[in-house]
Amino acid sequence: MRNLALVFCFSALVSAGIVACGDDASASAADTPLSESSLLSSSSADDSAGAKSSSSEKTSSESKLSSSTEPGFSENVAKSSESAPVSSSSVASEASSSSVAQTSSGSTPTSSDDGKCTNCDSFTAADPELTENGGKGSVTTYGSITAKETSLGGACNYGQTNIQYYAAIHVNVSPGDEKGPWNGGAACGGCVHVKARTPDGWKEVTVRITDRCPDANCGVDLGGAPASDIMGIQVGRYSGEWEFVSCEGVEGVWGDSTSIWVKEGASEFWSIIQVRNPKDMVKSITIYGVDTRDAHELEMVVGTENFWTVPKAVLQTDNRYRVVVKYRTGTDDEWKIKGSDLAEPEANLYLYEHRD
């Protein structure tokens, strides 16, 4: 019996060993295809990620190309980023894309300080922003950068001038609100110092305002000569900023000597005047009697921009008057004339001839 028991135990141990060996073999056999499957799956995932990355870059590129005509580009990109899951591979892919560094402008600055950028002529059209003494937003051009024509006076009604450094300023902040610096022509004659991002860094120029922007997303629209200075031959919509400055001593913004010009059609019953080649934008014009004690604060004409209405009481006399022009900056200018001088159509009363 003892021998039978030993045989039985030995048989049981052999069976258990065979089963154990079978499990190891089974596990080893199962491990091999699983490992290969994992490798294949990993390779497929990588290929898929690469395809997605390529697709993402293509989409980014297409969005970038359309950014100059789609004001909502930046907002749409932001919303897309919030809703889409981000993987480490896609982040790495996007980090090498210029669209990551791309600001809402549509141009890609390489530094926040030096003004250098890529795609500088593709600033995204958007509402301009007001600052304490100017603004920021789009810098565009409406002049020929090759011919560099002089200003024809624009909406400021100056007529033909010798001014090469001129520009238009925005009327609105948001479309139709008329909250821009144009202000019915009050900005006429003022100068703005403009700086814009370029591939070489910030470039700057000072221009006289002779017109208003026709573009809803315009900030400052440069004439030919200043546009050439900033844009070279790569004309487009640039990212920039500007501030109002005095025109005194600035080369290129003077067309002639400062004068009071009387609009065509003037008579002893009606006359409107403007200041040409002023030191800065005109803030007020007041006429003081020399032979009398009357004084007249002129009002800007509504609808005919950059003109001021002269009272009939002044036009219908040869009494002497002091015409005092106050500017946004700088010293006042003062003419001494007869009232009837302001009733003469297209009279151009130069300051240097009417100081005494």
HSE-up of residue 294 (Cα within 13 Å, Cβ side): 13
pLDDT band at 212 (very low <50, low <70, confident <90, very high): very high
Residues sharing a CB contact under 8 Å with residue 213, sequence separation 6 or more, in sequence order: 168, 169, 170, 171, 180, 182, 219, 220, 221
Report the pLDDT averaged over residues 218-244. 95
Model pLDDT, residue 154: 95
Model pLDDT, residue 6: 36
- SS3 state at 92: helix
Model pLDDT, residue 133: 95
From 342, 344, 291, select the one nearest 321 (Cα to Cα): 291
Model pLDDT, residue 71: 36
- For the cut 80, the answer to whether the pLDDT of residue 108 exceeds it is no
Report the pLDDT averaged over residues 148-155. 92
pLDDT per position as a tens digit, 112-151: 569 999 999 999 999 999 999 999 999 999 988 888 899 9
Model pLDDT, residue 214: 81
pLDDT per position as a tens digit, 254-291: 988 999 999 999 999 999 999 999 999 999 999 999 99
pLDDT per position as a tens digit, 235-248: 999 999 999 999 99
From 113, 115, 139, 117, select the one nearest 126 (Cα to Cα): 139
pLDDT band at 66 (very low <50, low <70, confident <90, very high): very low
pLDDT band at 87 (very low <50, low <70, confident <90, very high): very low
Model pLDDT, residue 95: 32
- SS3 state at 324: strand
DSSP 27-66: HHHHHHHHHHHHHHHHHHHHHHHHHHHHHHHHHHHHHHHH
The span from the CA of 313 to the CA of 273, in Å, is 15
Per DSSP, 172 falls in state -
From 206, 214, 135, 137, select the one nearest 166 (Cα to Cα): 206
The answer to whether 228 and 124 are in contact (CB under 8 A) is no
Amino acid symbol at 101: A
